[in-house]
Amino acid sequence: MSSTVWLVTLGALILVLLLDLSFALKDRNKETSMKTATIWTIFYLVLAISFGISLGYWHNIQARREFFAGWLTEYSLSFDNLFVFILILARLKVAKEKTQLVLLFGIVISLILRGIFIAAGSALINRWSWIFFFFGGFLIYTAIQLFRESSEEEWEEGKLITFMRKKGASTFTLALVALATTDLLFAFDSIPAIFGLTRDPYIVVTANLFALMGLRQLYFLIGGLMEKLIYLTEGLSLILAFIGVKLLIEAMHAQGWHAPFGLELPHIPLTLSLGFIVVTLVITASLSLFKTRKSHHSSEL
C-alpha cells in the first residue's frame, strides 16, 4: 500500500474522530440522548461498510474480504468489551453526565494501545513465524476462559483500583484507570485475532480503527440490548477458538509441518473464516433474542 493511501486514509479517519471527540468535549457535562447516539452509530456503521465495499474496487477483492472478517471480529469484541465498561461505570457509580468524558479518554487510550500492539505484532510476525503458535494458543486459552466465565455478570475491583480508592482518588480517576487496564487486556485478545485473518498492516489498522470509532455512542445504546444478547460471549469464544486453530495450522505450515503424524493439514481460506464469523454472530444473536423473548413471554403468563 502506497504512503499516499496511508496518509489519505489516516488523515480522513483522524478528522472524523477529532470531530466526534470535539462534540464529546463540548457536551462532556451532558447526558447523551438516544437520538444522538443512534445517529452517530449508524453513521459509523455506514462508513465502515462503505469503506469495506470500496476496497474491492480500488484495491482488490481479497482486501475487501479481509477487512470485513477483521472488522466484524474486532467490532464484536468491542461490543462485548462495552458490556464490561457498563459494569465498571455502574460499579464505580460514575455520574451519567461524566460518562461522556470517561469514555472519551478511554477510547483515546484504546487507540494508543492498539497502535502499540499492532506495531509490536507486525515486528514479531516479520521476524519469527513461530510466534503464531503463541498467538493461536493464547486465543484458544482466551476462548476457553470466555466460555467458562460467560455466566458471570459482575466486575470486581483489582488491587490497583482498591489501592487508589484508599488513597482518595476521585471516582473519575478510578473509572479512567479501570477502563485503561481493561483496554490493555482487550488488546491482548484483539490483535492476535486480527492477525489470524490478515497480515496486511493497512487492513489491520483500518479494521481496528473502524471497530473503535463510534464506541462511545454505542455505549449509550447497548445497555438494554446487552441484556438480550445473552449468548454473545459464547459466540465470541467460538470465533476466537476458530481463529486460534487457524493460526496454529498456519504456523505448522510455515514450519514445513504439512502432514504431522501422517495427517494432511488443511488450508483454511479467508472465505471460510468470514463465513464462520458471520454465521456464528447471526446464530448467536438469533438464539439470544429467541431465548429472551421466550423468557419475557413466560414471565407475562
Return the pLDDT at 255: 72
Looking at the predicted structure, is the pLDDT value of residue 72 above 90? no
CA–CA gap between residue 64 and residue 102 (Å, rounded): 34
Task: Name the burial class of residue 198, with classes exposed (0-12), middle (13-18) and buried (19+) by CB atoms within 10 angstroms of its CB.
Answer: buried
Return the pLDDT at 295: 62
Cell numbers linked to 190: 484483539
Percentage of the chain lying above the pLDDT 70 cut:
85
Return the pLDDT at 155: 55
Among 86-100, 104-118, 143-157, 229-243, the minimum mean pLDDT is found in 143-157
CA–CA gap between residue 286 and residue 22 (Å, rounded): 37
| Three-class secondary structure of residue 29 per DSSP | coil
- Average pLDDT of the segment spanning 146-174: 71
Return the pLDDT at 223: 58
Q: Work out the pLDDT band at 246, boundaries 50, 70, 90.
A: confident
Q: What would the pLDDT profile of 138-154 be if each residue is shown by its tens digit?
A: 778 878 877 776 545 55
Q: What would the pLDDT profile of 265-280 be if each residue is shown by its tens digit?
A: 777 777 888 888 888 8
C-beta separation of 92 from 178 below 8 A: yes
Q: Residue 214, by phi and psi: left (phi above 0), alpha (psi -120 to 50) or beta?
A: left
Q: Work out the pLDDT band at 49, boundaries 50, 70, 90.
A: very high
Looking at the predicted structure, is the pLDDT value of residue 294 above 70? no
Q: Using only C-alpha atoms, what is the Rg of the chain?
A: 20
Q: In the Cβ-directed half-sphere of 177, how many Cα atoms lie within 13 Å? A: 16
- Centre a 10 Å sphere on the Cβ of residue 23 and count the other Cβ atoms it contains: 17
Return the pLDDT at 266: 78
* CA 224 to chain CA mean position, Å: 19
- Average pLDDT of the segment spanning 277-289: 84
C-beta separation of 37 from 24 below 8 A: no
CA atoms 9, 13, 15, 18: torsion sign: negative
C-beta separation of 199 from 125 below 8 A: yes
Instruction: Give the closest residue to 184 by CA, choosing from 104, 109, 130, 292.
Output: 109
Residue with cell 446487552: 226
